[in-house]
Amino acid sequence: MVEKSIHEINRRIKDGSVNVVTAEEMVGIVAELGADGAAKEVDVVTTGTFGAMCSSGVWVNLGHSEPPIKMQKVWFNDVEAYTGLAAVDAYIGVTQLSESRGMEYGGAHVIEDLLRGKSVDVHATAYGTDCYPRKQLDTTITLDDINQAVMMNPRNCYQKYNVATNSSNRTLHTYMGALLPDYGNATYSAAGVLSPLSNDPNYETIGTGTRIFLGGAQGYVTGAGTQHDPTNKFGTIMVQGDLKKMNPDYVRAATFPGYGTSLYLGIGIPIPIINERVALATAVSDADISTNILDYATASRARPKLGQVTYEQLKSGTIDINGREVPTSSMSSFKVARKIAGELKDWIKRGEFFVSLPVDRLPTVGVFKPMLQTQETPLVGDIMSGNVVTIKQDASVYEAAKKIIESEFNHLPVVSNNNSLVGIVTSWDISKAVAEDKFDLVEDIMTKDTVKAISGETIDIAAYRLDQNNVSAMPVVDKNDQVIGIITSDDISKLLARRC
């Protein structure tokens, strides 16, 4: 059994005799020499990843103004930062959007602008106290002007991530990019063979205190990340580093159209090869790492799982989903991940970066729990009108008009002879037909592409769909497309009015 101490490895880094390889190179070395041989031969394996890391942000300390202010609210280039702390501390979160520019500019852009040396406008308000009398502040600063700018990210570096696809008939705009209708594409993230936590899945060397490459500078792992889910092999880490020392090549603001802003961040973690077990773990390849394909068309935290694929399959450019060949896109850059693993390797070789063992291990068991919701969310079935009035598709416009007047419903779901939904007709459609002197059948004037709901959906989802499609009512259907009710925006407003 090969055992190496961290001091021994750091001594080799110091005298220049250290043998460092990337996690990609290690796959072949272990295949050739075995874990035992590789553990003797290799001292450090470097990993890297470069992708969107939404749970990121920077703590800044602006120094005191004259007269002093205890900022109650603060904005950087119109992006609000959190300041529920002492006077001039604030946290700029990467996904916070600009109040004037919306999704095109967010906290991530403020951070990148600061790092690139650009000036940033600061606006702050306060209630004023005896010790902090100032109530308003406007100034313009650069990164050099502020005391600390510490990147502190509660969750980065997912061990692996789900693959996203879309079974619905419209494009979805998500944090996994645009998902085209009808399984038009599938997107994935994480670096596979180079993914830091996948190369140390038992968290033997990556833990609290581990020195890492963070945004082009030296940073640290401060502990397990939020949503750390080791039991399901979805581990995460919390990290910290000095923004002032980072390199803008590895700290890049992004906008996912229709979703919002995020930060592409480069992280590289060195794995000291302290024994054969650690060596063997770093031999993991793209073919060894599998992940789930999820259908993002279901707007629920329990998205249906459509299958499992390996990173090797994902990187081939297409994957098989229920017999279809679906093109894949990576949302993180493997090229930059490789560059990071290479750069970290060079730092270690040149004696500029020393490896460390964690002062505390990350939990190796535990799961990410769903939210406890104490207030019940009403379902479509709870508030829909069950006594819905439908009309046959071959009925006349006159009959439809009569039904609307009698029933006081503004919308009539149109059904076929076997009662399944084929369209919807509104009082407006009828008025239009009358105005144009068109007394045809209902099926000639109805809207065919009906937006519909099911009774088990939550009201929030129904309201979102009404809004997205710009309609005011949806027929509620069962699994055989038979109309069992109707839900209108009025029903939803009444529910909200009752709550208040």
Partner 1 sequence: MKIRINVAPDIVVTPIIAEVILETRTLLNISQAHIDSTKGEIIADVPNDEFNKIKAALTSRGAKVTVMDKPISRDEDECVECGACVSVCPVKVFTFGEDWSVNLDEGKCIQCGTCIEMCPHGALTLEQ
Side-chain-side CA neighbours of 169 within 13 Å: the count stands at: 4
Residue 85 parent element (H or E): none
Distances (CA, A) of 491 to 196, 373, 380, 461, 476: 50, 23, 10, 14, 13
Cα angle value 476/418/170 (rounded, 5°): 45
Question: Footprint of partner 1 on this chain (CB under 8 A)?
Answer: 50-52, 104, 173, 177-178, 180, 184-187, 252, 254-258, 262, 264, 317, 327-336, 338
How far is 486 from 389, CA to CA, in rounded Å?
9
264 has which bridge partners? Answer: 52, 252
How far apart are CB 177 and partner 1 at their closest, in Å? 5
Unique residue bearing structure tokens 């063992």: 357
Q: Which one, of 337, 348, 20, lies nearest residue 193 by Cα?
A: 337
Tell me, rounded to whole angstroms, the distance of Cα 132 from its chain centroid.
39
Q: Rg (Cα) of the chain, in Å, rounded?
A: 29
Q: In this structure, what token pair is assigned to residue 14? A: 């110091």
Nearer to partner 1, 132 or 183 (CB): 183
Do residues 153 and 165 lie in contact, with contact meaning Cβ atoms separated by under 8 Å?
Answer: no
Distances (CA, A) of 231 to 224, 308, 369: 13, 18, 12
How far apart are CB 199 and partner 1 at their closest, in Å? 18
Q: Which one, of 350, 359, 289, 282, lies nearest residue 48 by Cα?
A: 282
How far apart are CB 252 and partner 1 at their closest, in Å? 6
How far is 488 from 469, CA to CA, in rounded Å?
13
Q: How many CB atoms lie within 10 A of CB 84?
A: 10
Q: Are strands 391-392 and 411-415 parallel, antiparallel or unpaired?
A: parallel
**Concatenated DSSP letters of 403-416:** HHHHH--SEEEEE-
Backbone angles phi, psi at 370, to 5 degrees: -75, 165
Unique residue bearing structure tokens 């992280």: 267
How far apart are CB 236 and partner 1 at their closest, in Å? 20
Distances (CA, A) of 11 to 16, 37, 181, 213, 355: 8, 20, 56, 20, 10
Tell me, rounded to whole angstroms, the distance of Cα 405 from its chain centroid.
48
How far apart are CB 328 and partner 1 at their closest, in Å? 6
Nearer to partner 1, 224 or 340 (CB): 340
How far is 440 from 22, CA to CA, in rounded Å?
72
Cα angle value 151/154/158 (rounded, 5°): 110
- Catalytic residue check, 131: yes
Do residues 112 and 248 lie in contact, with contact meaning Cβ atoms separated by under 8 Å?
Answer: yes
Active site residues: 131
